[in-house]
Chain A
């Protein structure tokens, strides 16, 4: 077949738009990458170096930004003076735990929702998805009261369960879309060949496995980046990275170097994971409404 890009013919408008595009894109890229860049670089700066900025209006002075001796002392202090190793483990357990629960239970539920029709299915489905869409603070009010009575506040199981409030509906919703795309005839063939229902279900899992793997990662991403649940439900015993980072901001003494280093520690793994599941990112972030 022929290639699918439309040829463009030069006209003044097209040329003008091309020039505008390049400028706009450059400015936007700088604005979008600068905060991340500043975070990375500042995490290697000594305190006073990080505070060096030029005079107002001194455009040539921007070079002071690069005027520093790199140091790893902030990273060192995170893990030796603060317990960032522990917080990282908390983040990992809470995010990973809820992701595993969400995807395990979610794939089973999604499969049956995809394969069977019953009255009230639409309502059940809406209930599931509205759980995911509810404002976090609003969900947290009753959840806090309930978890308090179960002594789940400040514990990792409590936090895992809290994250499951948004990860499980998410998993059901997305994975149902996956199972909908697997033709039922595959299971029928399996069953005719002598498989039980459950074996038939297991037999189509490999077909959706790449998607399931990607959505475990997405669930981890959502949970890892959460701040509110961790701040309230996890407060005390289950401090995660975003909360620990936030706590470095103290009224009298803001440890910027450490905050930037903590930011890097929190962000870097997720950026890498995001690149790994790049293909599923749009589907995941739009709850399956848009596919790339």
Chain B
């Protein structure tokens, strides 16, 4: 058969041609012609309408464009201007070049990195340990509920409560630290050596429960049969933890790390209330510095340049995070 013939009826074809593949030998068994070449359709019908979805998406996109995309463009424009309280004037890249000589800007990055690293290290180790302890405990539900209470508190309020507790004359934690001999007469917040630790402790206090909750959710999904198989194979509980539990926990812990990392960039409420960057700039992590430049001194242009650097780093981190999200949660056999 040559091309052009698309429909072959049984009668047209002499018996024995290879066009037929009968599924049997009996003559009344169904036989189907196999067309050698299928011509493509001449014209495709118009695609199924999808406008409907567009309408549903439009309001959200419009709102987001106004409060996210438009401000982003504005941010770039502002960073090239000297904007104060009034209208701005173009200054080119001056806002950026000045950053390289701005000690507090560079210092702000270093402090931010230190702050994040300290918070993460403490939260991760304590949070994981807590999760392992609480998992399967008799009062698990109650314990978890008690643990997550700090997360419900407004960070600014948490900062105020800790300000009270750290107070050098009547703060209970101040009394505790002194009684334990960890601290001399000065308040923990008033010394450049300890102020950073003080704000780290507050962050650890408030957000360790999140790591615990995440790790706990991960622990519940560690395949029980693998643990059991390994036990029957001859592993001790400790060995089981490192061989099976931890590798299975790894993906959720990674998510926890990324989330906390970004939140350390996002939220400065508690630190702002506790130290406001002091004493002597020892806790002036970058977002606090940015807050000062933009909303204390109203140098919005310079603030925009700083904000842009902060945004770029966050977006890179975010990209990493999304990649982790999109990976299959964990391989399951």
Residues on A facing B (Cβ under 8 Å): 4-6, 8, 11, 13-14, 21, 24-25, 28-29, 31-36, 38-39, 42, 50-54, 56-59, 65, 101, 105-106, 108-109, 111-113, 115-116, 118, 126-131, 133-146, 161-162, 164-165, 168-169, 172, 197-198, 201, 221, 224-228, 232, 241-243, 245-246, 249, 256, 259-260, 262-263, 266-267, 270-271, 273-275, 278, 281-282, 285-292
Contact = CB atoms under 8 A, between A and B. Distances in A.
Interface SS of A by simple majority:
helix
A28 B256 contact: no
B60 to A, nearest CB: 4
A136 B54 CA distance: 29
Contacts of A263: 153, 157, 160-161
| A50, A109, A288: most-surrounded residue (chain B CB, <10 A) | A109
Given A36-B153, A38-B161, A292-B213, 4 more contacts: A25-B134, A29-B147, A135-B310, A289-B252
B68 interface: yes
Interface stretch (B10-18, B23-31, B37-45, B312-320): B312-320
Given A35-B158, A56-B179, A138-B311, A165 B67 contact: yes
Interface string B275-289: 000000000000100
B34 interface: no
A288 B325 CA distance: 9
26 contacts: A31-B205, A35-B205, A36-B150, A38-B165, A52-B170, A53-B171, A108-B60, A127-B69, A137-B294, A138-B75, A141-B294, A141-B300, A143-B71, A144-B294, A249-B163, A259-B164, A263-B160, A266-B154, A270-B153, A282-B217, A286-B210, A286-B255, A289-B325, A291-B217, A292-B216, A292-B217
Contacts of B115: none
A285 B215 CA distance: 13
A21 B237 CA distance: 15
B162 A35 contact: yes
Contacts of A118: 50
Query: Which of A25, A42, A116, A145 has the most C-beta atoms of chain B within 10 angstroms of its own C-beta?
Result: A145
Given A51-B170, A134-B311, A135-B310, A242 B75 contact: no
A137 B287 contact: yes
Interface in B201-232: 205, 208-210, 213-214, 216-218, 220, 224, 227-228, 231
B93 interface: no
B153 A225 contact: yes
Q: Closest 6 CB pairs between A and B?
A: A109-B60, A227-B156, A138-B307, A112-B53, A225-B154, A142-B71
Contacts of A242: 154, 156-157, 269
B147 A32 contact: yes
Contact of B318 (A108, A130, A282): A130
B290 interface: yes
B255 to A, nearest CB: 4
Contacts of B117: none
A22 B66 CA distance: 52
A112 B237 CA distance: 47
Contacts of A130: 314-315, 318
B126 A28 contact: yes
A105 B136 contact: no
B266 interface: yes
A167 to B, nearest CB: 10
B64 A13 contact: no
B252 A290 contact: yes
B307 A35 contact: no
B172 A53 contact: yes
A287 B162 CA distance: 28
A266 B157 contact: yes
Interface in B95-147: 126, 129-130, 133-134, 136, 143, 145-147
Interface of B: 50, 52-54, 56-57, 59-61, 63-64, 66-72, 74-75, 78, 83, 126, 129-130, 133-134, 136, 143, 145-158, 160-165, 169-172, 175, 178-179, 205, 208-210, 213-214, 216-218, 220, 224, 227-228, 231, 236-238, 252, 255-256, 259, 262, 265-269, 272-273, 287, 290-291, 294-295, 300, 303-304, 306-308, 310-311, 314-315, 317-319, 321-322, 324-325
A270 B231 CA distance: 43
Nearest to B326: A122
Given A35-B158, A201-B56, A232-B295, A13 B63 contact: no
A249 B163 CA distance: 10
Contacts of B175: 53-54, 56
Given A263-B161, A275-B145, A286-B214, A112 B57 contact: yes
A227 B161 contact: no
Given A142-B71, A164-B63, A197-B52, A282 B214 contact: yes
Contacts of A270: 152-154
B179 A59 contact: yes
Contact of B161 (A13, A35, A129, A221): A35
Contacts of A4: 224
A39 B161 contact: yes
A260 B70 CA distance: 40
Given A24-B133, A56-B178, A287 B259 contact: yes
Contacts of B210: 285-286
Contacts of A249: 160, 163, 273
A128 B72 CA distance: 13
A31 B209 CA distance: 12
A31 B172 CA distance: 12
Contacts of A133: 262, 266, 314-315, 317-318, 321
B236 A13 contact: yes
